[in-house]
Amino acid sequence: MNYFSLNNKSHSSSFENAVIKGLAPDKGLYFPENIEKLPDSFFKDLPNMPQTEVAYQAIKQFVGNEIPEAELKKIIAETLDCDFPVVHVKDNVYTLELFHGPTLAFKDVGARFMAGSLGYFITKNEVGKVTVLVATSGDTGGAVANGFLGVEGIDVVILYPKGKVSKIQEKQLTTLGKNVTALEIDGAFDQCQDMVKQAFLDDEIQSVRQLTSANSINVARWLPQMFYYFLAYRQLASEGKDIVFSVPSGNFGNVCAGMVAKELGLPIKHFIASNNANRTITDYLETGNYEPRPSVSTISNAMDIGNPSNFVRILQLFQNEYGNVKENLTSFSYDDEVTKEAMQEVYKETGYVMDPHGAVGYLGLQEYFKDHPNEIGAFLETAHPCKFRETVEDAIGKQIDIPDSIKEVLDKEKKAISIKDYAELKSFLLS
């Protein structure tokens, strides 16, 4: 499988190069040159296949022969060593729980798959030290830190916005040490992301450090997220209906990966991008005008992104035609108050505890059902409610349990370097 740059389609790259470099030389995102549908026999057998085999069949065309089958299956097994249960919430509403990994967030899958792939390529080709430079609005930082912790030949540098991630999220990305360094930025996530992109454009830094990104702009972080949709279908196939997915959306990598799963033939009826007050895509689908804007802070902080990087991939999937995008994707946006009300309502009605991101996904699914009452759908629960403990407990009026793994993190000392601007980031990377 080769990949092209979304800034220059004449530029071609192998999977290995795309993983190591993160971005194309023109700083465009990489996109697969073709997507071949999986055979009907795969979907017939899917409900009875082990989840690791499902994932292998889904991802293998995107890796090609660049990672041997045995090694790729090993990476997948280490990536998917936890459960991804579909839970019935009420009526025709299900949730896909993606928070059973080591950092209790959906980004564990992409981070671990990328760590395994990048680690393989570094060892195989002796490419030297690689620096993974990543911005986080919440869960990415902890997942990347955990996934790359102790991987030989890799340094990890994580930028996060001061005071705009939860206490648990901050502890998960600032307490590991070893090859992981956390940089605390006095600003919003968009500033962190802009600084990372600027570093990739800086020839002086590139002459000293071999940079790659572990945000979902990297194909090895982005594509494995399609596993979720195959694993959800595997559990819901007996319903005998196509499924609607409501995806809490920030940088739009997750919902875009789901759309790739649909391109592979997975019978998904429709996608809903459920947004918080950062409604750039909601407005785009309503008006046809794409207008990025500064992000605003919300209780669902992992989605506080005003200029989602992966939306350009969604546009590519649908030939950059607004009508095609609108036919396949619906988007709704909700403020914090409505989100809290949903958390309270669902808990009182069913006893199910949602985190703020899952609650936004639930709201989007319920709104979609107003015009499509006979369909079934699943919203994605992307993080364990304990990661937003104060918000969740305030909404449901009850204390929630904290897993032992999180209790251990809370007792550790935060270690982060405060930086103000790009000049300070550059100075750090050159040191």
- Of residues 169 and 95, the one with the higher pLDDT is 95
Give residue 255's pLDDT: 98
- Read off the tokens for 35: 């997507």
The conformational region for residue 320 under phi > 0 = left, psi -120 to 50 = alpha, else beta, is left
Does the structural domain 83-104+221-396 have CATH classification 1.10.10.10? no
State how far the Cα of 98 lies from the Cα of 107, in Å rounded to an integer: 8
- Nearest residue to 284 (alpha-carbon basis) of 259, 240, 315, 253: 315
CB of 418 closer than 8 Å to CB of 386 = no
Helix residue ranges per DSSP H, 149-267: 167-174, 189-201, 203-206, 219-222, 227-236, 253-263
Residue 197 clears pLDDT 90, i.e. is over it = no
Expressed in percent and rounded to 5, the helix, strand and coil fractions of the chain are 50, 20, 35
Q: Does the pLDDT value for residue 16 go beyond 90? A: yes
Q: What is the pLDDT of residue 388?
A: 92
% of the chain beyond a pLDDT of 90: 78
Kindly state the tokens that stand for 220: 């090895």
Nearest one of 183, 107, 179, 169 to 144, comparing CA atoms: 107
For position 358, what pLDDT does the model report?
98
pLDDT for 311:
96
344-365 residue pLDDT tens: 999 999 999 999 999 999 999 9
The average pLDDT across 106-126 equals 90
Question: Hey, what are 130's tokens?
Answer: 């690689």
Residue-wise pLDDT tens digits, 245-282: 999 999 999 999 999 999 999 999 999 999 999 999 99
Q: Are 175 and 149 in contact (CB under 8 A)?
A: no
Question: Which band of pLDDT confidence, cut at 50, 70 and 90, is reported for residue 333?
Answer: very high
How large is the average pLDDT for residues 312-329?
97
DSSP for 85-116 reads -EEEEETTEEEEE---STTSBTHHHHHHHHHH
The rounded distance, in Å, linking the Cα atoms of 102 and 46 is 26
- Residue of 107, 164, 171, 262 marked active site: 107
| Among 109, 82, 48, 92, residue whose Cα is nearest residue 378 | 92
With cut-offs at 50, 70 and 90, classify the pLDDT of residue 330. very high
- 226: tokens are 């399609």
Q: Domain ranges in the chain?
A: 83-104+221-396
Residue 188 to residue 81: CA distance in whole angstroms: 33
Q: Which of 327, 279, 301 is nearest to 391 (CA)?
A: 301
- Provide the pLDDT for residue 93: 97
Question: Residue 107 catalytic?
Answer: yes
Angular region, 35: left φ>0, alpha ψ -120 to 50, beta rest:
beta
Query: Among residues of the chain, what percentage have pLDDT more than 70?
Result: 100
Question: Could you tell me the pLDDT band of residue 238, with boundaries at 50, 70 and 90?
Answer: confident
Statement: residue 128 has pLDDT above 80: no
- Count of CB atoms within 10 A of residue 406's CB? 18
